[in-house]
C-alpha cells in the first residue's frame, strides 16, 4: 500500500475508533451526568437546529453535559438528540445522530444529511448514495462509510440495525 493509501487507512481507522469509543462512552457519560457527575458549563443544547453545521467550528456555549473521552484528550458532548466529539482546541470533529429505539439518546427528528431518512434500509441507502468507500460489520450490524467533498463533513458513517434499517449517522471532519 502506498503512502497515500496507508495515511487514508490510518485516518479511517482513527475515525472508526473515535466513533466506536463515542458509542461506548455515550452510556457512561449520560449515566455519570444523571448520577451527579461533573459537567462543563459549556455544553450543547437541543436548541441547535442543525448540529452537523457545527463540524469544524468551535463548540458553542450552551447547556448539554460534556465529559472526557476514555481514550485521548477529546471530549464528548451529550445532547438530548445528538452527540459530538470535540478536540482539545474546542472544535467539533464528529456529530452523531440517532434514530428511533436508542436507549440513551432521543431520536433526531430533524433532517438527516444527504436526504436520508430513519426508515431507509441498507439497499435504499446504497441505491441513493452509491457504493460506499468502506463496509464493515462492527458490533454485528452493517456500517457503510462514504467520503464527501464540499460539505461540512468529509465522511459519513451510516450504522444499521439487524433489520438493516438506518439507526445512526456519524458525520466527521475526517476521512
Say how many domains are in the chain: 1
Residue with cell string 462512552: 25
Rounded distance, CA 168 to CA 118, Å? 8
User: In this structure, what C-alpha cell is assigned to residue 57?
Assistant: 467550528
Could you tell me where the beta strands, DSSP code E, fall in 50-164? 66-68, 75-78, 82-86, 92-98, 134-136, 143-147, 155-160
Query: What is the span of the domain harbouring residue 77?
Result: 3-172
Rounded distance, CA 104 to CA 22, Å? 12
Q: What is the reported pLDDT for 60?
A: 84
Rounded distance, CA 27 to CA 23, Å? 8
pLDDT tens string for the chain (175 positions)? 455 455 455 544 544 444 444 444 344 343 344 333 333 333 344 467 889 999 999 988 766 888 999 999 999 999 888 999 999 999 999 999 999 988 888 999 989 999 999 999 999 999 999 999 999 987 788 999 999 999 999 999 999 998 899 999 999 999 8
Q: Is the pTM of this model over 0.85?
A: no
Rounded distance, CA 156 to CA 47, Å? 23
Amino acid at each position: 500500500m502506498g503512502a497515500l493509501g496507508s495515511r487514508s487507512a490510518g485516518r479511517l481507522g482513527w475515525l472508526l475508533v473515535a466513533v466506536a469509543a463515542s458509542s461506548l462512552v455515550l452510556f457512561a457519560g449520560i449515566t455519570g451526568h444523571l448520577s451527579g457527575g461533573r459537567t462543563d458549563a459549556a455544553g450543547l443544547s437541543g436548541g441547535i437546529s442543525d448540529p452537523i453545521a457545527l463540524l469544524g467550528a468551535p463548540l458553542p456555549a450552551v447547556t448539554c453535559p460534556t465529559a472526557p473521552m476514555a481514550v485521548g484528550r477529546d471530549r464528548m458532548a451529550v445532547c438530548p438528540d445528538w452527540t459530538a466529539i470535540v478536540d482539545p482546541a474546542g472544535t467539533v470533529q464528529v456529530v452523531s445522530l440517532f434514530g428511533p429505539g436508542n436507549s440513551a439518546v432521543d431520536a433526531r427528528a430533524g433532517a438527516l444529511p444527504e436526504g436520508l431518512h430513519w426508515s431507509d434500509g441498507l439497499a435504499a441507502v446504497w441505491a441513493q448514495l452509491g457504493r460506499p468507500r468502506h463496509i464493515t460489520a462492527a458490533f454485528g450490524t452493517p456500517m457503510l462509510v462514504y467520503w464527501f467533498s464540499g460539505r461540512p463533513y468529509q465522511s459519513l458513517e451510516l450504522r444499521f440495525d439487524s433489520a438493516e434499517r438506518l439507526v445512526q449517522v456519524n458525520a466527521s471532519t475526517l476521512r
